């Protein structure tokens, strides 16, 4: 996307071109900084990868697909006029999510009255209304905690607001709620397996399982975000957002250069001053270098060992990756028909699972290296919001599984083997068949509609994006010891690094994964002195 020379200099050089890099680059660019994004792949976007991967006319998101975090976040609020001027159009739905489990089906909508009526069917109306009302009365603090720069003095205002509202005893008393796992919370709160299965799988979308600390809090956060914000997607796919952000960067005199593999961050006097590419090219940075990479990539590869303090190097080496992802993309000749609940045909994203027991079993099994017997399946139906993603009369499915081992120890069902533990094409395709067979129980016409199919294993995910180590779609385990103040490093450094002018952004850093652009936004504003 551009060609630079060895003598070129920029105000900021950013390693990577995912959502956080793009957001940081766009915000800095509109404030007068000249910015270069260096992308090792042949296209920008990171986990946004839009392409007609199956058949002409079928537009798939091979990695991330849904944009509620971005549309509901501060980066979009700031950049919205510029993005809209460049053709970015978001569409939404009143029926963002639903569930099909053994005990029944349900839909969670953006209509408060409809949700109360839905939970009434399962005897959980009062439980839902009480939980939702109580949590949303404090939602400003919840979202503030997840979106604040924890290493600036202004973040203390959030703590002060909480203290004034609850008092010190009340504030301390919220800690158990923040740390409670979703499974015991759901069992205590709801009587119906359907209610639990509708809500708790959303913890998976933040890298947590139902038995992990803080998964109840995350479930509440995501449920509220869905009810208030729906499930927006950009018309035409995420590439429209990537192109628009690139346009803002270009208008500021900057560029995104693809096929630019950064192998070293150049330092002088313990300050970052530029980057070195695999082919020996040097690009200078006058004010800052930002790296959207994993901690190991930053501290073990891009910096020399002598530059990294011992405690930082140790903490980076101990950074863990979570369970692996798996995706299936289908080009369909028609519309899926959900047999038990026709409403699900209009829902953006449906979880298919047996129930809470199968959810826990799959999460725990995958963490120990086992392929699940009956996984929790995320069936995304983008055409319910954006019909342009398929030819007239056709449709696509975006299928995600988040309970998979990076290395295969065995298969709980006993039918898939991998002697060396790798995700071979044979293991990948056999597992995809298992998944489709489970979905077919809910969508009987599925097989007859399939025109083309792509299966993406954990190994394939890492090949598509080097930050998805072992196929972890969240670029790092999101359990509490690697989250918030302790993300990315347990020594609690936040986005600032021990190297002057060098900043760490991306999904491995606070506020974590998802297409929100949060870390890019926070660091850009720190650089601007805001």
* Residue 399, strand partner residues: 328, 379
Give the pLDDT confidence of 289-322 residue by residue, as tens digits.
999 999 999 999 999 888 999 999 999 999 999 9
Distance, in Å, from the CA atom of 68 to the CA atom of 65, rounded to the nearest integer, reads 10
Distance, in Å, from the CA atom of 477 to the CA atom of 512, rounded to the nearest integer, reads 10
Q: Note the residue count of the chain.
A: 530
Mean pLDDT of the chain: 93
Give the pLDDT confidence of 126-155 residue by residue, as tens digits.
999 999 998 887 766 666 666 667 666 666
- Is residue 1 scored above 50 in pLDDT? no
Determine what percent of the chain is predicted with pLDDT higher than 90: 88
Name, in order, each residue with C-beta under 8 angstroms of 160's C-beta and a sequence gap of 6 or more. Answer: none
Rounded to a whole number, what is the largest CA-CA distance in the chain? Answer: 69
Residue 312: its H or E element? helix 310-317
What's the predicted TM-score (pTM) here? 0.93
Distance, in Å, from the CA atom of 429 to the CA atom of 108, rounded to the nearest integer, reads 32
Q: Are 513 and 207 in contact (CB under 8 A)?
A: yes
69 to each of 257, 284, 316, 472, 499, how far by Cα in Å? 27, 33, 27, 19, 30
Residues 163-187: what's their mean pLDDT? 76
- Is residue 3 scored above 60 in pLDDT? no
What residue segments make up the domains of the chain, in order of their start? 9-50+63-91+236-319+475-527, 112-229, 323-464
* Residue 289, strand partner residues: 13, 502
Q: What is the pLDDT of residue 150?
A: 66
Residue 15's pLDDT band (boundaries 50, 70, 90)? very high
- Is residue 54 scored above 80 in pLDDT? yes
Which residue reads 């006319």 in tokens?
Answer: 57
- Is residue 64 scored above 50 in pLDDT? yes
Distance, in Å, from the CA atom of 118 to the CA atom of 112, rounded to the nearest integer, reads 10
Q: What is the pLDDT of residue 134?
A: 87
DSSP letter for each residue of 417-431: --TTS---HHHHHHH
Which residue reads 């999101």 in tokens?
Answer: 478
Burial of 188 (0-12, 13-18, 19+ CB in 10 A): exposed
Q: What is the pLDDT of residue 242?
A: 98
Q: What is the pLDDT of residue 386?
A: 98
Q: What is the pLDDT of residue 170?
A: 60
**C-alpha dihedral sign at 160, 163, 166, 172:** positive
Q: What is the pLDDT of residue 171?
A: 55
Specify the CATH number of the domain 9-50+63-91+236-319+475-527.
3.50.50.60
Number of other residues whose CB lies within 10 A of the CB of residue 426: 11
* Residue 288, strand partner residues: 12
Residue 4's pLDDT band (boundaries 50, 70, 90)? very low
Distance, in Å, from the CA atom of 174 to the CA atom of 465, rounded to the nearest integer, reads 38
Q: 3-class SS at 84?
A: helix
Flag the least confident range among 172-176, 181-185, 289-293, 406-410: 172-176
- Is residue 105 scored above 80 in pLDDT? yes
Q: What is the pLDDT of residue 494?
A: 86
Q: What is the pLDDT of residue 403?
A: 97
CA dihedral 13, 17, 20, 21 (to 10 degrees): 10
Pairing state between β 349-352 and 97-101: parallel
Residues 21-46: what's their mean pLDDT? 97
Name, in order, each residue with C-beta under 8 angstroms of 262's C-beta and a sequence gap of 6 or more. Answer: 15, 38, 40, 275, 276, 277, 278, 302
Q: What is the pLDDT of residue 94?
A: 97
Q: Are 399 and 330 in contact (CB under 8 A)?
A: yes
**C-alpha dihedral sign at 23, 481, 146, 403:** positive
Q: Are 379 and 399 in contact (CB under 8 A)?
A: yes
Q: What is the rounded end-to-end Cα distance, in angstroms, of the chain?
A: 31
* Residue 106, strand partner residues: 99
Q: What is the pLDDT of residue 166?
A: 63
- Is residue 67 scored above 70 in pLDDT? yes
* Residue 277, strand partner residues: 262
Name, in order, each residue with C-beta under 8 angstroms of 282's C-beta and a sequence gap of 6 or more. Answer: 6, 266, 274, 275, 276
Residues 31-55: what's their mean pLDDT? 97
Residues 210-233: what's their mean pLDDT? 94
Q: What is the pLDDT of residue 2?
A: 45
* Residue 188, strand partner residues: none
């Amino acid at each position: 996307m551009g060609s630079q020379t060895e003598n070129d200099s920029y105000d900021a050089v950013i390693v990577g071109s995912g959502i956080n890099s793009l957001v940081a680059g766009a915000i800095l660019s509109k404030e007068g900084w000249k910015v270069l994004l260096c992308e090792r792949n042949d296209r920008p976007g990171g986990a946004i990868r839009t392409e007609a991967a199956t058949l002409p006319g079928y537009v798939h998101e091979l990695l991330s697909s849904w944009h509620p975090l971005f549309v509901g976040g501060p980066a979009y609020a700031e950049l919205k006029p510029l993005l809209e001027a460049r053709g970015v159009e978001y569409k939404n739905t009143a029926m963002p999510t639903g569930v099909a489990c053994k005990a029944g089906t349900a839909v969670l909508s953006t209509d408060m009255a409809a949700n109360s009526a839905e939970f009434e069917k399962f005897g959980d109306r009062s439980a839902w209304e009480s939980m939702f009302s109580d949590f949303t009365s404090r939602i400003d603090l919840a979202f503030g905690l997840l979106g604040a720069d924890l290493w600036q003095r202004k973040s203390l205002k959030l703590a002060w607001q909480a203290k004034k509202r609850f008092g010190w005893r009340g504030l301390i008393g919220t800690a158990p709620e923040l740390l409670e796992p979703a499974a015991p919370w759901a069992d205590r709160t709801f009587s119906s397996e359907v209610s639990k299965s509708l809500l708790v799988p959303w913890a998976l979308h933040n890298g947590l399982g139902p038995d992990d600390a803080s998964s109840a809090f995350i479930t509440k956060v995501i449920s509220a975000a869905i009810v208030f914000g729906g499930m927006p997607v950009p018309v035409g796919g995420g590439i429209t957002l990537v192109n628009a952000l690139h346009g803002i960067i270009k208008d500021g005199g900057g560029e995104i250069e693809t096929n630019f593999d950064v192998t070293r961050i150049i330092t002088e006097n313990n300050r970052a001053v530029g980057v070195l590419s695999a082919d020996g090219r040097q690009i200078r940075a006058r004010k800052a270098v930002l790296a959207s990479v994993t901690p190991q990539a930053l501290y073990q590869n891009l910096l020399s060992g002598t530059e990294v303090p011992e405690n930082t190097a140790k903490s980076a080496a101990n950074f863990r990756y979570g369970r692996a992802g798996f995706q299936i993309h289908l080009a369909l000749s028609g519309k899926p028909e959900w047999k038990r609940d026709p409403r699900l045909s209009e829902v953006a994203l449906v979880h298919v699972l047996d129930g809470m027991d199968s959810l826990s079993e799959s999460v725990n099994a995958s963490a120990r290296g086992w392929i699940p017997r009956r996984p929790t399946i995320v069936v995304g139906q983008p055409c319910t919001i954006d019909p342009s993603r398929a030819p007239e009369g056709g449709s696509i499915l975006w299928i995600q599984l988040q309970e998979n081992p990076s290395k295969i120890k065995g298969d709980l069902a006993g039918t898939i083997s991998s002697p060396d533990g790798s995700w071979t094409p044979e293991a990948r395709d056999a597992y995809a068949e298992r998944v489709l067979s489970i979905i077919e129980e809910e969508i009987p016409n599925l097989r007859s509609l399939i025109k083309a199919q792509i299966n993406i294993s954990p190994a394939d995910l890492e090949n598509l994006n080097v930050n998805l180590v072992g196929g972890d779609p969240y670029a790092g385990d999101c359990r509490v010891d690697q989250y918030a103040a302790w993300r990315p490093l347990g020594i609690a450094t936040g986005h600032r690094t021990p190297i002057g002018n060098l900043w760490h952004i991306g999904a491995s850093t606070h506020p974590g994964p998802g297409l929100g652009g949060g870390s890019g936004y926070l660091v850009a504003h720190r650089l601007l002195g805001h």
